């Protein structure tokens, strides 16, 4: 237990922010209970991730494949636990989720998905993206807007997993 989660009694002072979190996320998840140690950071995080998740035009299935792949690469089980049900609702199959660790050799992913996953892997593992990987992802996205949104999504969920793992935030926490 690196830090305690902020309890509801501490959230009273930040009621408007907590109300926004509940409105946009359904509840104050463990992630936000940790972020609420710094209301300014929690508010900025909420704005940024709401833009990525809800205001972006990136197709939901691709967004969730990216998030699940980032979670797998970074060893972030909380991120995966939170997003697996969303991925399924967005049209990602359970078989695809199960095959994400070996996506390169799987016939469950089409060319567009493989280009997106290769881009996700490069951004997450090496940070610098080789030109052929970038060009394939750009072609798969079809517009500069979508490649920017894809890039921002990969970057954002790398941020999420790094925050969660550094502070050891997990689904089973009862702090």
Q: Give this prediction's pTM.
A: 0.91
What is the pLDDT confidence band of residue 175, given thresholds at 50, 70 and 90?
A: very low
SS3 at position 119: helix
Map 57-113 to HEC letters: CCCHHHHHHHHHHHHHHHCCHHHHHHHHHHHHHCCCCHHHHHHHHHHHHCCCCCHHH
Q: Is the pLDDT of residue 173 over 60?
A: no
């Amino acid at each position: 237990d690196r830090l305690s989660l902020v309890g509801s009694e501490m959230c009273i002072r930040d009621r408007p922010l907590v109300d926004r979190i509940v409105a946009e996320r359904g509840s104050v998840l463990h992630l936000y209970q940790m972020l609420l140690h710094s209301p300014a950071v929690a508010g900025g995080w909420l704005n940024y991730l709401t833009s990525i998740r809800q205001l972006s035009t990136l197709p939901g299935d691709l967004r969730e494949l990216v998030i699940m792949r980032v979670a797998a690469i970074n060893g972030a089980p909380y991120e995966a636990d939170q997003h697996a049900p969303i991925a399924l609702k967005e049209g990602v199959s359970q078989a695809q989720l199960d095959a994400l660790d070996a996506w390169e050799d799987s016939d469950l992913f089409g060319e567009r998905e493989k280009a997106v996953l290769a881009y996700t892997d490069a951004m997450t593992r090496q940070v610098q993206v080789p030109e052929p990987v970038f060009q394939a992802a750009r072609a798969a996205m079809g517009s500069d807007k979508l490649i920017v949104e894809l890039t921002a999504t990969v970057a954002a969920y790398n941020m999420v997993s790094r925050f969660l793992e550094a502070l050891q935030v997990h689904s089973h926490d009862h702090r």
